[in-house]
Structures are given as C-alpha cells and as structure tokens.
Amino acid sequence: MIRLTAGVAALLLAGSLSAQDPRADSDPVDVTTLQARARAAEQAGQHDTAGDLYAQLAALQPERAEWALAAAASWRAVERFNEALDVLEASAQRAPENVDLAAGIATTYHLKAEAMLGRGVRDANVLFQFEEAARVAEAALRRHPSERRLRVLLAQSQFQLGDFGAARVSAEEVVRRFPLDPGGHLLVGQVAFAQLMQLRGEEAQIAGEPERQDLRQRGDAVRDRAAEAFAKVARLDPTRARPHVQLGNLWGREGNDAAALQHYRDALSIDAGATVNHHWVSTKLEAEQRVAWYDRVLADYRKQPGANDARAGSVLWWRAFALFEQREYPAAKDAFLTAIAANPGFANSRAYAMLAAYWSDDHGTAEREAALYAAEGPRHFADHLRDHTDPDESVPILEYLAHRSYRARRLGRARDLNHVVAMVLDTADHWNNYAFLCRETGRYAASLDAYRNALSLEPTSPQLLNDAAVILHYHLAEPHHLAEAKQLYQRASEEAKKVLANASATSTEKSRARQAMADARANLRKL
C-alpha cells in the first residue's frame, strides 16, 4: 500500500494533471530550470530543497524514475523517510520492474530503522521497518537474482532482525555470487561474530561439562569462520580499517590480547579515526607501553595519503592520557594541547592540560586552559572534575587559578572559573563569589541566578538578600523586579535584626548583619 504524505500527494496530483496538458509536455524550460536548481541545491548540501525540487520534476515527468530516486536520496539525507518512500513507491507502481526503485525502497526502510535505533527507539516499529526492507529486497530478488545491492540489504535486514540463520544464508549467497566483493565477506563475519556471542552466552549458562564442551567447540568453529571472513576482507581491500577493528574486537573477546592489540594497531595505522576500543587497550598495556604503542600507530598512520591530525584526534588524546598516567606532566600538557588543537570537541583535554600544566609549574597555561574550558562548557567541566578526577585535589587547584586570575584583574576568567567551582562545591559562599564577579563584569542576569542559588542554600542571609535586591534594583530595573527588590530589602533588614538579637551569633556575624541592614535600609530609601 502506498502511504502518500500531503505534500507528495499534491505534487503527484499536479504531475498527473500536467501530464495531460500538451503545453507542459512540450515546454522544456521548466524541467531544465528545475533540474539546474535541484542539482545546485544538492551540491550545496541543501537536501530539503533538493528533494522538494526533484519531487517537482517527478511530478512533471512521472515516467522518469531518476527524479524519484534523486528526490528520495536527498530526503533520506535529512531523514524525511516517509516522503522518500512515497515518491519511490509511486514511481515503482509505474515501473514495477525497475530494480533501482526496488533497491531505493528497501534502502529507505533500512535507513529509517537505523535512524530510529540511533535515536534510542526500541519498539515494534523498528522491527517493522527492517521487515519491510527484507520483504522488498526478497521480492525484487525473484525478478533480479543477480542484483548485489538487494542481496546485501536482505542479509543486513535479516541480521538486524536477529534471524542469524537466514542472514548467514543470504550473506554466503552474496559471497558465492560476488567472491571478490569485500562487503559480502564482511557480512559473513558479522553474522558469525553475533552467533559466537550467542553461543558463548549459552555456554556460560550451562552447568554440565559435556554440554559446555559441545557449545565451546561449536563456538570455536563459528569464531574461526568469523576470523577468516574478516581476514578475507582485509586481503581483498587493504585500505579498509574495519576488518581489523572487527578482528580486534573478536580476539579481544576471546582473550587473545596480543592478536587483538595487533589488529587494533593495524586498523589505526590505516585510519586513525577507526572505532577502536581504546579503553580496552588502556587495560591491557601499562602507561609507558601505551605511549610507545600510540607512537607507532601515529608514525604508520602519517604515512597514509591524506593523513591528518583531526582524524587522529582520539589517538592523540589517548596517547596524552597515557603520558598523564605516567606522570610525565610537561609532555602530557603538550600532548593534550595537541589533541584539542586537532579536535576541539575533546574539551576535557583542557582539564587534563590544566592539571598537567599546574604540576609542571606552568601556572599561566593551567589558568588559560581552565578558563577556556570554563567559558566553553562550565557544566561539562564541573561534571568532569566530579567524575574523572579527585575533587579534593583538582578543585583547590581550580580555586587557586581563579584567585590568580582575580589578583591579575582578569575578571572574566575569574568569573568563569568561580562558576565551575560553585557548580562542584555548591555552597552559598561560592555562589556568592560567582554572583559578585558576574556583577563586576556586567553579567547581571547570571549574577541574579547565582544569588538565587546562594539563597536557596542560605535563605536567611542578610547580605545575600541585600545583594540580590541590588541587582534587581539597579541593573534589572523592570517593574516586577523593583517590587521583588523592595521585598528583599525588607527581608534583609528583618533577618539582620534576628542576627543582632541572637546571643549566640559571633561578632563577625553581627558586624556583617549591621552592614547588610544599613545597606538594605539605604537602598530601600533610594528605591
């Protein structure tokens, strides 16, 4: 059944009408202009626009399947899968034997399911999309048995559905028909790897030794099939990192650490951005060994055509982390700075660079890197300090750097660093410090928020009540803020009186209360 969205339905209706209009058929200007605009949008990466324009062409010339295919390809790039399916299926009704349309429909269902998985969706609708991809591919293969794309899509969809037996048959058929195509061998390996994990899981649940031995032997045979398939891919296409990643994953799970490390190294030497399990590597090699291992990887990778440090960002980061763990702090500092220059998305490099620079007595670099991280992502910085460092060690360093910034009148840096400190320690005093620096640097809305955070922790503080009112009164002087400021001044005076009447209050507390009360009364008179 064809499910037409409103927009596509309108376009196709327009197409059916214009097809009956001899002027539309005889006028090449509209088609030529639309085609030029569509290709320009496509080349500019404007996939929404390109898809819409190609769909108009499909409406004008419904007999030309290439317009539907182009519209679908553009829409798939921006996850407009339903519209892509509509235009493809409408075109396929006109040309049911067109293998490109069948492959396009199966591809769209498959990509839609993968996109849903990527968003964390795990429900029957995802399975339905994979089932539809398999159904369309299987039906089309009855008419086009030699179509590689359809066979690959069938095997991939069966694999995603967890039907490993059917997926193996389909993948092996791809290999039989296209023995020199690396993709088929990769599919065979992936299916065998999944079956291996299934068998190893069953083995772990079995108590009887004869049954365990049988499962172990079956698992070993499946493991060897997976290993041979991935090795075949590597031989057929030595420029691919993926088979080496898969071999690394396979041997790592099977406990052959040496083989896993070698294949991970081979993968990264081909493509330093390959999705290698760096954390696993860090558990198998000591810090000094890891530095040498990553140095060899980088040396080999940099021999590759088009090698660049941006692609090697993960390798550079893990090498820097190994130096950090080795307590080679000057080298670690430089390595983390190199890592973040290669990939600015690795923001926590700045936290490690801060610590490494501080312990190298390079307090200027430590302050700069900490301030940059604090400005870019204060919440992320605070979470990193809590979760990946010892806060009793790292936070005092951050406080020292904040004081260093303040003494040098680098108030913006001091403000941002105090913000992170306040997020980590969450005390009224630290939020007060941040609020004050926000006020000094003209960040009045942020200052008010910080005072509110402080008051949530110490709601009866005369000083905090007065200072929050000052921001509302003098810097955010809207009518509702002025009304709130009046209330806060009055509360500040009342709370100050309570402190002064409290026999157990210290002389310092009473002195601060007197000052807050005097300030609040003076400000209230001005208000």
Read off the pLDDT band of 340 (50, 70, 90).
very high
Q: State the CB neighbour count (10 A cutoff) for residue 214.
A: 14
Mean per-residue pLDDT of the chain: 92
Q: Is the dihedral of CA 214, 218, 219, 223 positive or negative?
A: positive
Looking at residue 23, its pLDDT comes to 38
Looking at residue 28, its pLDDT comes to 52
Contacts of 431 (CB under 8 A, 6+ apart): 422, 450, 451, 453, 454, 457
Q: C-alpha 40: how far from its chain's center?
A: 30
Report the amino acid identity of residue 331: A
Looking at residue 384, its pLDDT comes to 96
Cβ distance 101 to 91 under 8 Å?
yes
Q: Which of 93, 92, 73 is nearest to 83 (CA)?
A: 73
pLDDT in tens, 435-451: 999 999 999 999 999 99
pLDDT in tens, 384-412: 999 999 999 999 999 999 999 999 999 99
Looking at residue 208, its pLDDT comes to 79
Q: Environment class of residue 353 by beta-carbon count within 10 Å: exposed (0-12), middle (13-18) or buried (19+)?
A: buried
Looking at residue 211, its pLDDT comes to 87
Say if residue 102's pLDDT is above 50.
yes
Contacts of 57 (CB under 8 A, 6+ apart): 31, 34, 35, 38, 64, 67, 70, 71
Q: Which of 166, 233, 164 is nearest to 199 (CA)?
A: 164
Say if residue 15's pLDDT is above 70.
no
| CA angle at 226 for the pair 222 and 231, rounded to the nearest 5° | 145
Contacts of 164 (CB under 8 A, 6+ apart): 158, 191, 194, 195, 198
| CA angle at 40 for the pair 37 and 42, rounded to the nearest 5° | 110
